[in-house]
Amino acid sequence: MESRVAIVRTSPATVLDDVHRVMNLAGYASALPRDRETALKINISWHFFYPASSTTPWQLDGVIRAMKRDGYDPAKIHGCHNRTVVIDARLGERENKQVPVVEAHGLRNVHLYEPGVEWINVREAVGDVADRFLVLNQVYPGGFMIPKEFLGTNILHLPTVKTHVFTTTTGAMKNAFGGLLNERRHWTHPVIHETLVDLLRIQKHIHSGLFAVMDGTFAGDGPGPRCMTPHVKNVLLASSDMVAIDAVAAKLMGFDPLRDLKFVRLAHEAGLGCGDPREIRIVGDGEAAAENWHFAGPFKKMTFASRMQHKIYWGPLKRPIEWSLKTFLAPWAYIASVLYHDFFWYPAHRARVDQALASPWGRLFQSWEKLAIPPDDLAAPGWPAVLDAGPGGAAPKAAHFKRAWAILGECIREAPEWGPRRR
């Protein structure tokens, strides 16, 4: 089948119409059967608001409105979140203003790690497809668990355009990482590229439909998915080919997807999608797709944390330290991450957040509740009055550190090696 990626330019005044347009240009109705449940796989790469890091409220709202507009039953659509050992998804969905969107539309909001969600062994779900895994059988010799409710459902990924310290860029393929792997997913970091290919193979087997809408209103460059420099880029992408959309996004950022992104090349060679931009049909705004943003990437100005991660997973610290991440000692790494990112890096770079909040998209984010559009107004094109909204700023430092202490406490209590979530 033809690999097609849609791209459109957008603005706060037209973003709802633009999300609808980009989804239809990419043929989402053919990819997602209307009679099946659709999980909107929301991305939270940081529990605090940081531009380009997590699913935006206008991205989520636009997708829900587009599906309602095109006859999808809201009762068959739900928000979907995973948990990680260093990210508080409950805080993240509030701080990134995703909760008001889901609640306004009356959708279910599923947190996969909370009571009531059944998990089953991957071999029970995919059978002998597991024999074709590149690495997961070696990483998890006893198998691993995946959410049972994923079987036979549509999945619609909601990533953002950004770089990543492990995979160079991250997008639709990596958005499945948290949902399909348990809290010991860090065991796969040394073979992360192969892992993403295995996860895509699983998705193609268990889901009734796959689609992605990628937000590039803000795009992140640097040691992502958190410690980035955000740029306003005003684009939206969509595709039913997870490999192709990641390849096109990478090309926009200035990378050669087949050369620079091992996970794209491996998936392309395995026939799981098209990673060669020359073979991908671009629909929508061709001029936008031809841009090159010349991003520096994640490796030129790495943070202390990302340099240490590289040394532990692929460098001189692998032998003396990596073993500890597979034992009861592993929470040392979670604690170190929270201390570095939440207590040091975010407060030290608040100016980047404030600068982004002064942009039109930042003003829309800050004024989200005040500018709310009724959920049944499916004809609204966007938020033309957003420029009248005053710029705000990041949360006061005292409030930030109060939340950071709470996150650190939760990280310690809920560590899967120590706490009640042990699987």
pLDDT in tens, 230-257: 999 999 999 999 999 999 999 999 999 9
DSSP label of 272: S
Q: Is residue 304 part of a domain?
A: no
**Rg (Cα) of the chain, in Å, rounded?**
20
Task: Encode pLDDT of 142-156 as tens digits.
Answer: 999 999 999 999 999
pLDDT band at 391 (very low <50, low <70, confident <90, very high): low
* CB neighbourhood size of 137 (10 A): 17
pLDDT tens-digit series, residues 44-77: 999 999 999 999 999 999 999 999 999 999 999 9
How many other C-beta atoms can be found within 10 angstroms of the C-beta atom of residue 350? 14
The residue-averaged pLDDT of 360-368 equals: 94
Alpha-carbon span 81 to 157, nearest angstrom: 11
What is the distance, to the nearest Å, from the Cα of residue 382 to the centroid of all Cα atoms in its chain?
A: 23
Give me 357's structure tokens. Answer: 């909040």
Q: What pLDDT, on the 0 to 100 scale, is given for residue 423?
A: 43
Is 282 a domain residue? yes
- In the chain, how many domains are there? 1
The domain of 219 spans 4-299
Cβ proximity of 111 and 99 under 8 Å: no
Question: What number of other Cβ atoms are within 10 A of residue 28's Cβ?
Answer: 26
Residue 44 CB: number of other CB atoms within 10 A? Answer: 24
Across 279-292, average pLDDT: 97
- Would you state the torsion angle of the CA atoms of residues 410, 416, 420, 422, taken in this order, to the nearest 10 degrees? 160
Q: Check: CB of residue 408 under 8 Å from CB of residue 342.
A: yes
Tell me how far apart the alpha carbons of residues 362 and 392 are, in angstroms, rounded to a whole number: 8
What is the model's pLDDT at position 115? Answer: 86
Q: How far apart are CA 213 and CA 235, in angstroms?
A: 11
Look up the CATH number of the domain holding residue 11: 3.40.50
Q: Which long-range contacts does 344-352 make (Cβ < 8 Å, 24+ apart)?
A: 345/226, 345/227, 345/303, 345/305, 346/48, 346/50, 346/400, 347/397, 347/400, 347/401, 349/227, 350/394, 350/397, 352/51, 352/229, 352/230
Residue 232 bridge partners (DSSP): 218
User: Residues of the chain with pLDDT > 70: what percent?
Assistant: 96
Query: What are the helix and strand counts (H, E) for the chain?
Result: 20, 12
Given a contact cutoff of 8 angstroms between Cβ atoms, the answer to whether 102 and 96 are in contact is no
Instruction: Provide the pLDDT confidence category of residue 387 given band limits of 50, 70 and 90.
Output: low
pLDDT of residue 413: 87
Residue-level pLDDT at 105 = 98
Span 305-359, pLDDT tens digits: 999 999 999 999 999 999 999 999 999 999 999 999 999 999 999 999 999 999 9
> What's the CA angle centered on 80, arms 16 and 213, to 5 degrees?
35
Phi, psi of 12 (to 5 degrees): -55, -30
Would you say residue 367 lies in a domain?
no
pLDDT at 414 over 90: no
Angle at 151 between CA 146 and CA 156, to 5 degrees: 90
Residue 250 placed within a domain: yes
Residue 27 forms part of a structural domain: yes
Q: What is the pLDDT of residue 13?
A: 96
370 contact partners, CB below 8 Å, separation of at least 6: 389
What pLDDT is recorded for position 390?
58
Helix 15-25 vs helix 57-69: crossing angle, to nearest 10: 60
Predicted local confidence at residue 422, as pLDDT: 43
Contact residues for 395 (Cβ-Cβ < 8 A; gap 6+)? 48, 403
Count the neighbouring beta carbons within 10 Å of the beta carbon of residue 388.
10
Within a domain: residue 67?
A: yes
The pair of three-digit structure tokens given for residue 8, joined into one six-digit string: 């459109």
**What pLDDT sits at residue 195?**
98
Measure the CA–CA gap between 158 and 273, rounded to whole angstroms: 18
* β-pair type (209-221, 229-239): antiparallel
Q: Could you tell me the pLDDT band of residue 418, with boundaries at 50, 70 and 90?
A: confident
Mean pLDDT across the stretch 370-388?
90
pLDDT score for 419: 64
Coil, helix or strand at residue 98: coil
pLDDT in tens, 112-151: 988 889 999 999 999 999 999 999 999 999 999 999 999 9
Structural tokens at position 182: 């348990």
Instruction: Note whether 160 and 219 are within 8 A (CB).
Output: yes
The count of other CB atoms within 10 Å of the CB of residue 36 is 15
Q: Is residue 322 in a domain?
A: no
Count Cα atoms within 13 angstroms, Cβ side, for 165: 23
The pLDDT value given to residue 178: 87
